[in-house]
Structure 1
Amino acid sequence: MMKNNNKFDRHKQLCEELNEVYKAKNIAYGDSFGKTFQELGVISAVTRMYDKFNRIKALSTGAENKVMDESLKDTFKDMANYCLMTLIELEIQEQRGSEDVE
């Protein structure tokens, strides 16, 4: 059984892994998430998360994994990154909103 200190350490490691995946994909896709979010708003993020949720649901209920480089764990990591990316975009929106007031 993993103790809390080990869980805290593992959480930190996972966040570092998520950051590396985020960097690589953001470079590869040219910040398409941010651009789409700016154009379409939060629904664009929800749509991507919903797609990941559906993949998680399918893999969890026995669907055949035909995408070999995206396991259940990979999909959870993608979902976590989408949540973090959405928070970043919401913060950017808030900052822009406060700049308009000044």
Structure 2
Amino acid sequence: MKHKIGDNFNLNFENHKKLCNEIHELYKLKNANYGNSFSELFEEFEMLYVVPRLVEKINRIKTLTMNKDLDYDDESIRDSLLDLANYSIMTIMELDR
């Protein structure tokens, strides 16, 4: 059975919504664990605080991609991408203040 283009768009919209909800739940969990440290450090150091966090996540993704035999128990590529998305959203929130 062929899928219509609209079906794929609808599926993509649903998947995007699920991922955004997952990112939001992760944000709430980590904020409960770490408090408001991101905002506090952003207020003090601005982008000088954020850029290294983003680079760390990108380097983690690069390492996991290039070394497929590494143990993923600590943090998977998917976990790192979710963290990267959250860091990006939190940075936008700070910039919008």
The residue matched to 2:85 in structure 1 has which SS? helix
- Residue identity over aligned pairs, in percent, reads 41
Whole-Å separation in 1 of the counterparts to 2:43 and 2:69: 35
Q: Residue deviations 1:71-95, cap 9 Å, x none?
A: 1100000000000000001011xxx
C-alpha displacement of 1:63: 5.5
2:87 to 82, 85, 100: 82
Whole-Å separation in 2 of the counterparts to 1:41 and 1:7: 34
Whole-Å separation in 1 of the counterparts to 2:62 and 2:68: 9
Superposition RMSD in Å = 1.7
Whole-Å separation in 2 of the counterparts to 1:39 and 1:21: 24
Give the partner amino acid of 2:84: M
How many residues end up aligned between the 2 structures?
Answer: 92
Give the partner amino acid of 2:38: F
Which runs of no fewer than 5 residues in structure 2 stay unpaired? none
C-alpha displacement of 1:43: 1.8
Give the partner amino acid of 2:21: E
Partner of 1:97: none
Please list every run of at least 4 consecutive aligned residues from structure 1 whose deviation after the TM superposition is greater than 3 angstroms: 63-67
TM-score, normalization by structure 2: 0.86
2:32 is aligned with 1:27:
yes
